[in-house]
Structures are given as C-alpha cells and as structure tokens.
Amino acid sequence: MELIGLGLLVVAVGMAAALFSFNPHDPSFNTATGTQPTNLFGRAGATVSDALIQMLGLGCILPVLVLLAWAWRLVRHHGMNAPLLRIVAALLLLPAAALFVGVLQLLLPGGQVAWPSASGLGGEVGASLGRKLLNAMQWEMGATGTVLGVMLALSLLGILVPLSMGLHGYEWRAVGRGLWALARWPVRAWRSLRGTPQPPSTTRVYQPQPVPARASVAGMNGTTLPSGFPRRQFGRAAPALPPQTETAPASTWVEPPQAAQSDLAPWERAMSGSETPEEANHGYGNYGAAPHTPEPQEPPPNPYAEMLAKIHRTSDSPPPPIPRQIDDEGDEEEYTQAPPPAAPSTPGQTLRRFISRSLGDGGGAPAPAGPAPYVQQAAPAPVAASAAPPAPTAAWEPPSLDLLNPPPPSGQTGLSEEALQANARLLESVLNDYGVQGSITGYRAGPVVTLYELEPAPGVRSARVIGLADDIARSLAVLSVRIATVPGRNVIGIEVPNAERETVYFPELLQTKAWTGSRGKLELALGKDIAGEPVFADLARMPHLLVAGTTGSGKSVGINAMILSLLYRLSPEDCRLILIDPKILELSIYDGIPHLMTPVVTEPPKAVSALKWAVQEMDRRYRLMADHQVRNISSYNDRIRRLRDSGEAPTRRIQTGFDPETGRPVFDEHRLPLEHLPYIVIVIDEMADLMMTAGKEIEAAVLRLAQKARAAGIHVIMATQRPSVDVITGTIKANFPTRISFQVTNKFDSRTILGEQGAEQLLGRGDMLFMQGGARITRVHGPFISDEEVEAVVNDLRSKGQPVYNADVVADEEPEESASGSSGGGKGGDGDGSSDLYEQAVNLVLRENRASTSFVQRHLSIGYNRAANIIDQMEREGIISPANHVGKREILASRSRGNDFDGKDEDGEGADGFS
C-alpha cells in the first residue's frame, strides 16, 4: 500500500512539474519544431502537458490533486474506501471540470483571455460541452436556462470532487485551515515588512496557565499532529509535571532589561498606568483576545514618578507581592494572597495606596528599608469534614507508609509519539488485511496497554471487529488484544499491550491527592486505569463486591490491596473485619490484628456460623436504628456522637401490657443504649469451596446480607477462582452489581461474572475489568504488594493493640430439637423445666461473672437459640447490660442477690428484683 501511494505521489508531482513548465513551442503532437524542448521532463513532459491543456484547459489541475489525495491516504495507511467508485468519479471529474471552466469563459464578459490553447480555458472538451449545454438550456428556458446551466455544472463539480478524492471530514478541515493560512500569509508578510502592528482586537496574547498533572499532547479538539496523524478525543498523556501550587511565577525581584518603561519594575508600571492590562496581569488568565480598552488619552504629568524611580533605585527589598492564586490543596500557611480588586482602579488610586503603605502615618516620613508586605487577614476556611479520612481515636495511629517498599526509580518514559503513530498505522494495515475499513482517530497510552480508537467505515459491524481479537493479536505478535465498543461514541476501542509493562505500586496510590482527599467511608485502592490515573472505589456505595479470577491472575494480591486500604484508612473502632479463608494460607497472615472480630475462619462450619451471626447482627442493628429513628449506620453514629457530647439519655416508650382495671395500655420508658456501631467487612476468599460443603446455608446467608446489610454497615467481599453458574448463582449475581474480573480461562466464565466476554483476554498479574453498579466496564491494573510488605504492616498493627474477639461469631449452633431434648433430660421439658434452666443460667452468670450466648450454651449443653433467649431475658430483667461494640456485657446484679433467686413467689417472680 505504501509503495502504491509513493508511486501515485511521484506521478502527481511529475505531472504538476510538466504542467508548470509547459511551453506551447515545445515539440508535441500539435507542434512540429526542430528546437529542443524546455519542459522539465523533456519531450515526454511536453507531449503529456500539451495533451492535457489542449483537451481539459484549466481542468487539468484536478487530476493532479486527485492523485495527491490518493497518495496521501495510501501512504498513511488509511486506504481507499470503494476504490472502483473513486476511479469512476475521477474519470467523470475531468470533463466536469472542463465543462465548468468552459461555461464560465463563454458567459463572463472578456472571457477570451490569452491562453496557449485555441479552445480557451476549458480546452476542447470544455468548449464543446459548454456550448452544447448553454444552447440546449437557452433553447428550452431562455436566460433562466443559462443560470441553471451554470448551477448544474457547479453542482456536478461539487459532487465529483469529494467523491473522487475520498477524504474524511477532518482531512477536509485540515485542508481548509491550510488554505486559510496560505491566504493570510501575504497580508502578514506585508505588515511585517512595513512594521505595522497588529490590531489590539485581534492580538492573541500568550499567558501561562496552570498545567494539570497529566496534560494531553494533542487531539482534544481535532487538531493534527506534526507528522499529520489525526487526533480527536484522546491524546497521549504527557510526562508528569511537578505539582503546580500557584498560577503565577514566584515574586522574585528581577530588573527587566528593556529600555524606556523598563527602568521601572512591572508593579511600578502597573501603578503608573503605562502598562496594558495583559502586561499587568503577569500571566494570569488564558489564551484570548485582549480586552477592549477605552481610547487612549494624554496622561497627566505624574508628580510621583521621580520619587518612584528613587525608591526603586535605593530599595534592596522586593516590592509588595503580587496577588497570587494558591491551589486549594496547597500550603495555606506558607503563602498569603491578597483579594482580587473588585473593579479596575486608576493609576492615581493605585499610586496613593502604594504611598499610604510605604509611608507611615507620619505624613511624609521616610519609609523603612523595604516596604512591609501586604498580608491578608486569615478568613475562616470552609470546613470539609468529609474530605478527610475518618478521624481515628486519640490512641490510634494508622500504619506508616514507610513500612511499604517505595516504588523504584523508573527510567521508562513510555511510548514516543512516533512509535504510537507507527503502531496506529500498523493496526490500520492489519485491519485492512481482514477487510475492516476505518481509520485510527486517537490513542491513549497507559502503563500496561494502549487504547487505540477505530472509527469504522459505514456498514462495518462492531461484532465483526470484536470477533477478530485473536487474529489481530496474532498479526501484531502480542499476547492478547481486547476490543470493545466505546459507549456514546462512534468508535471501537482496541487495547493493545505495551512492549514493556510498567508495575503499579501500592504506596504511590496512597500518596495521591485523590486518596487523601477522598470522601469515601470504605475507600479501596484498586490500581490505575489505562491512562495511568489512580482508581479508587467506595465499598460502602457498592455495597458488596464480587471478585473472580484464575490462579495466578493477581486475585489474591488484589484482595490484599483492598484489606490494606481499609487498615490504612480506618481504626478498629470504625471498621471490623471477618476473614473467611477455607484455603488457610491466603488470609491467615492477618491473624491477631486489632481489626478482627474473630480469628481468621478456616473451617466451613464456622464460616456458616459467622455468616449467620452477621445476619443476626444485621437484624439487631436494624432494631437499634429503628429505636433511634435513623435510616443508615452513618446517621446512627452521628446521632450517637451528638448524644454523647450533649450528655442526653434517650428513652423509648414501649407498651408492656394493659391495666386490669381500666383496660388501657400500660407503657414503660426504656433507656436506649448509646452504642457506636463500626463497619463490618466480611471477606470470603474462596466461595467455591464453601458452596461445595454448605451451599444452601451459605447462599441463604449471603443473599440476606446482600439484600439488606448495606444500611446496617455490613459489607461482603466475595472472591472465587471458579466463576461458574453453580458457584455464582443468578440470585447472587443480582445482588452483587459491582464486580471485578481478573483473567479467566474462557469467555463463558467472563460472561458469568461480567455479563460479556473480554476477561479471558486480560494479561494477568493484576490486570482486571471493574464494573461498578452495572455501569460501563473499566480496565484497571492492580497494584503490586509483596508478602514482606503485608507482614510488616500486620506486625505494626499487632504492636499497637490486641484484638477483642467476639466469641458469638463462630459459636457452634445446634438444632432446636437437640436443645429441647437436652433440656428435657433432668431439667424438664417445658414449664417448670424452662424456669429451672433460667435459674441455672442466672446462677452461672453471676458465679463466673461472664455473660455471653456461647458461654451459657456451652456450660448448660443447650442450643444456640435457647441460650440467646436466656441472655435476652437477663438483659430485659436488668441482670446484665446490653452488649457493647465488641460484644461484651457487664454484670449489673450482685452475687448475693443472685443467691436469693431461688426464693420465688407463686407467680414466679423473685421476692427481690435485680438492679
């Protein structure tokens, strides 16, 4: 294709040179002479140029332009859509161009100009066709027919020119911009030669702007790169720049070297009124036309000019600082900024303000050696409580980032612009080989893959392009290629792996402003997207996460990154973890950290108990929130915090029965507990193993948590390496809208986890597809965390405190019938037996000074439900306190009063109540 394009380019240039050097006296078919030809291409050039000019006249220029357009597209690997149509249109264009020129020459007065051909500007073809067309139109419609004939010739020319060249819209726009610049060049050259200044209304003033951390090189507005490669939506990210904390240069005192007004400093020129608003701005603003200024008037004599010059010559200190705009996240203590003026002030007012600041109240007393800097009074900054991470308790400090290995210095600068353009041309060539017509309109290079945007030709089905992913990967000699449509745009995204893959490190994610200023309650650091930007997600908003991936895909490292994100952000008072690891090796390293509610669960029966306890805890939290009349855990904790600060003791009115005499309901006031509820995150590392052992119970508990636990602050992260339909059932998928898929083995597993294929084409080692809330899928490259880093963080957490376990989480649960059977033996089944069992439980609790469901269940050999009912009855009667945030209860009744529990009246109530 390139060779054909180069051949057409040579033919077009040669034809243009032959036409440019045409001489009617050179020997040709129409001229017989014995002189040597003066044409650049000799006798052949003279013959060809004479034939074209004699036949087509001025229309001979269009074949040259058509050949140049074809050569341009072929050399740039854009191809020629419908080449047969282009050739036919080009053949029809030749007589159409000659016809148009011939008609104009016949109609315009004085059209017979000097021309080498006797047939005129349109050549033989144009003159003949023009006369026939005008005669026919005038014969039928008179003068109107003449106008219609011109319009017909012009319309035919306007249709055949773009049809024969085959250029896209952006290429035509580039041609228009080039012609406009070429047309304006003589005017600019004439002005520069005469020294005429540009009008103020059209002057474009360059003023520096704050540059973002990753700026697009080109392509955001349809511009063209230096080598001609088009860029539209995406541009390759530029190398990271140092963080910009202010939009103006530092206020350093440098004397300008210019003449005339350069004897004064910029701030003095602004005060004396001799500087334009753009110059006084010192780089503020953006590209744009200079604002309109009033008509210049003769400035009055400035009586302070001599004094200002004297101050400038004698003062060694810098001038008053120019007001600067400081970044919202910059250091507010290091810089102070003056408020911008409400309206532009006159030079006299500016000078008087300067004199009043420089000279004291002494009325003309000399100023100190340097003028005192103007400092703005500190204004109360807006409070952004949710912008910072949750404040830990006074005794809690998060682990230090020094425990993590810093990212090694990388000498990789990414793909160069030339390499990206070469890859884009190669990709277009490969697509052409498979019959896919289109052009690459943009690309975006990332740390692992580069996204190329293909704009397909009309009629190209996206499903056909997506199905060629494996063939394109083979042709490009890469591991895999992922192809997907871009929602909302007429392009297809093609993700091609980079030759050198960069590693994403976990510490660099935690050092970004997006992490430190995040508003998320349970923020997770997932990695970087294909553009190299950090990706974070709030687990509290998901509200549950489903993770899938084969062995070696980076799933375990991704789970570690999520857990460490929570450990670095939240204290044990704000977040508790329940880790379920049937494989024993993955999560057991976290055993003993203060955030755990129970030791790492490795046995499937205990995992079932832990999930059932989470369901009961969810119901208990809902009752607490209903008592306090709030709707979610965030509002509940805020209310508890306010009540504790104010010292209030909230109560709730509960109906306890009816008055036997009047029949009216009787109410009691119950004091509500002020219990802080931490978030609970349940991490299940291998769901497939649990489904094999206790599928029904696990699925039922997970479904209840997925449906209701969001408002209660209980969230589930469920991972599996076998995302089949028997593990991830339809009901589980319906309640886990947020999913992450690492590399899987086939497209069926990808459809199971994501609902579409593509995960089987990932690269492994942390490469993932992230689908949040059923929305569009984002490709993310997960961070790398070594086992040594995890161990260092865990050891640091262990040194800061011991975990407070809740024994009820993994307590063995017995069936109800076994509980009743055990209570029936020697203790009675119902009635008095239940009362005797309750008495034994009370004596046990008071004697051992310990109260929990599992404790009573284990010592009395009863079922879990019976023990829980006994504990609840003790709480209602005031023997024990409600459970605190770690599940512990205090014994409120004394042991001596517990010994009197045997003394009952006839109604079963104790003679003495418990306090």
Q: What is the domain-level CATH number for residue 496?
A: 3.30.980.40
pLDDT, greater one: 210 or 566 = 566
Residues 697 and 827 in one domain: no
Q: Mark whether 108 and 135 lie in a shared domain.
A: yes
Which parts are annotated binding residues? 549-556
pLDDT at 902 over 50: no
Task: Please check whether residues 498 and 538 belong to one and the same domain.
Answer: no
CA distance readout (Å), 567 to 254, 396, 560, 710, 806: 50, 12, 10, 20, 19
Task: Give percent of the chain with pLDDT exceeding 90.
Answer: 18
Cα distances from 581 to residues 278, 586, 689, 818, in angstroms, run 65, 7, 10, 29
The answer to the question of residue 511 being in a domain is no
Q: Which of 622, 618, 601 is nearest to 610 (CA)?
A: 601
With CA atoms as reference, report the closest residue to 95 among 141, 137, 132, 47.
132
505-533 residue pLDDT tens = 999 999 999 998 888 899 999 999 888 88
Residue 529 identity (one-letter amino acid): D
The per-residue pLDDT for 833 is 53
In a domain, 251, yes or no: no
What pLDDT is stored for residue 498 in this prediction? Answer: 87
In this predicted structure, the answer to whether residue 391 has a pLDDT above a threshold of 60 is no
Cβ-based neighbour number of residue 606 at 10 Å? 17
Q: Which residues of 842-851 are buried (b: 16+ CB within 10 A; e: fewer)?
A: bebbbeeeeb
413 pLDDT tier (thresholds 50, 70, 90): low
Instruction: Examine the pLDDT at 376 and tell me if it is beyond 50.
Output: no
Last residue of a domain, one of 138, 167, 196: 167
pLDDT band of 406, cuts 50, 70, 90: confident
634 token code pair = 């965030």
The string of pLDDT tens digits covering residues 436-448 is 888 898 888 888 8
How many CB atoms within 10 Å of residue 357? 14
Report the pLDDT value the prediction gives residue 793, as an integer from 0 to 100. Answer: 94
Is residue 662 one of the residues assigned to a domain?
no
**Which of residues 739, 767, 800 is at a domain's end?**
800
Binding site for ATP, residues?
549-556
Are 782 and 869 members of one domain? no
pLDDT of residue 196: 53
Let me know: does 54 contact 98? Beta carbons within 8 Å: no
Domain-ending residue, one of 167, 188, 203:
167
Cβ-based burial of 364 (10 A; exposed 0-12, middle 13-18, buried ≥19): exposed
Which of 245-259, 841-855, 897-911 is modeled with the greatest confidence?
A: 841-855
Q: What is the mean pLDDT of the segment spanning 669-676? A: 86
User: Is the dihedral angle over the CA atoms 116, 117, 122, 127 positive or is it negative?
Assistant: positive
**At residue 726, does pLDDT exceed 90?**
no
Average pLDDT value for the chain: 73
Model pLDDT, residue 551: 86
Q: Would you say 877 and 668 are in contact if contact means Cβ atoms under 8 Å apart?
A: no
Average pLDDT over residues 615-644: 91
Q: How confident is the model at residue 265 (pLDDT cuts 50, 70, 90)?
A: very low
Mean pLDDT calculated for residue range 255-262? 43
CB 721 within 8 A of CB 728: no
pLDDT band at 711 (very low <50, low <70, confident <90, very high): very high
For residues 618 and 748, state if they share a domain: yes
* In the predicted structure, residue 608 carries a pLDDT above the cut 60: yes
- pLDDT top residue among 265 and 124: 124
**Average pLDDT estimate for 8-25:** 80
Can you give the pLDDT at residue 271? 43
> How many residues are given for the chain?
915
**pLDDT average, residue stretch 179-196:** 76
Integer Cα distance of 319 and 283 in angstroms = 18
- Are residues 759 and 840 both part of a single domain? no
Higher per-residue pLDDT: 707 or 317: 707
Report pLDDT for 770.
93
Nearest to 862 by CA among 898, 833, 897, 820: 820
Domain containing residue 850: CATH number? 1.10.10.10
Same domain? For 745 and 830 the reply is no
d(CA 842, CA 913): 13
pLDDT for the residue 812: 65
pLDDT at 421: 86
Q: Describe the chain by its helix, strand, coil percentages, rounded to 5.
A: 45, 10, 45
Is residue 287, in this structure, part of any structural domain at all?
Answer: no
> 175 lies in a domain?
no
At residue 769, the pLDDT reads 93
Q: Tens of pLDDT along 354-364? A: 444 444 444 44
Is residue 125 located within the same domain as residue 226?
no
Predicted confidence band at 178 (pLDDT cuts at 50, 70, 90)? confident
In a domain, 553, yes or no: yes
pLDDT in tens, 298-339: 444 444 444 444 444 444 444 444 333 333 333 333 333 334
Residue ranges in 523-672 assigned as alpha helix (H): 555-569, 604-628, 633-646
Structural domain including 446 reads 216-238+415-502
- Higher-pLDDT residue of 559 and 117 is 559
Q: In the prediction, which pLDDT does 108 show?
A: 64
What per-residue confidence (pLDDT) applies to 614?
A: 94
> Is 90 exceeded by the pLDDT of residue 596?
yes
User: What are the structure tokens assigned to 799, written together?
Assistant: 């040194």
Query: Which has more confidence, 81 or 382?
Result: 81
Q: What are phi and psi of 352, to 5 degrees?
A: -65, -40
For residue 663, being part of any structural domain is answered with no
What local confidence, expressed as pLDDT, does residue 244 receive?
43
What whole-number distance in Å separates Cα of residue 115 and Cα of residue 126?
Answer: 14
Residues 754 and 869 in one domain: no
pLDDT given for residue 115 in this prediction: 61
> Do residues 56 and 48 make contact, with C-beta atoms less than 8 angstroms apart?
no
Lowest mean pLDDT among 123-127, 403-407, 460-464, 902-906: 902-906
Q: Is the pLDDT of residue 252 over 90?
A: no
In this structure, the answer to whether residues 582 and 698 fall within a common structural domain is yes
Which tens digits make up the pLDDT trace of 864-885? 888 888 998 998 888 888 887 6
Total of domains in the chain: 4
Helix or strand holding residue 410 (H, E): none
More confident residue, 653 or 637: 637
The residues, any chain, with a CB within 8 Å of residue 649's CB and separated by 6 or more, are: 671
**Which is nearest to 576 in space by CA: 809, 788, 399?**
809
Which of these ranges, 461-475, 800-814, 871-885, has the smallest mean pLDDT? Answer: 800-814
Of 87-101, 146-160, 178-192, 310-324, which range is least confident? 310-324
Between helix 555-569 and helix 787-800 the angle, nearest 10°, is 30
Question: Do 699 and 822 share a structural domain?
Answer: no
Summarize pLDDT for 751-778 with one digit per residue, the tens. Answer: 888 888 888 889 888 899 999 876 788 8
pLDDT digit string, tens, across residues 567-581: 999 999 999 999 999
Task: State the pLDDT at residue 683.
Answer: 95
Instruction: Compare 403 and 289 and report the one with higher pLDDT.
Output: 403
Residue 69, in any domain of the structure: yes
| pLDDT average, residue stretch 9-15 | 83
What percent of the chain is predicted at pLDDT more than 70? Answer: 68
* Res. 837: pLDDT tops 60: yes
CA distance 768 to 759: 7
Q: Work out the average pLDDT over 392-410.
A: 77
pLDDT at 738: 92
CATH code of residue 783? 3.40.50.300
For residues 887-894, average pLDDT: 80
Contacts (Cβ under 8 Å, ≥6 apart) of 324? 246, 247, 248, 251, 335, 337
Residues 728 and 838 in one domain: no
Beta-sheet strands, E only, within 60-189: none
pTM of the model: 0.51
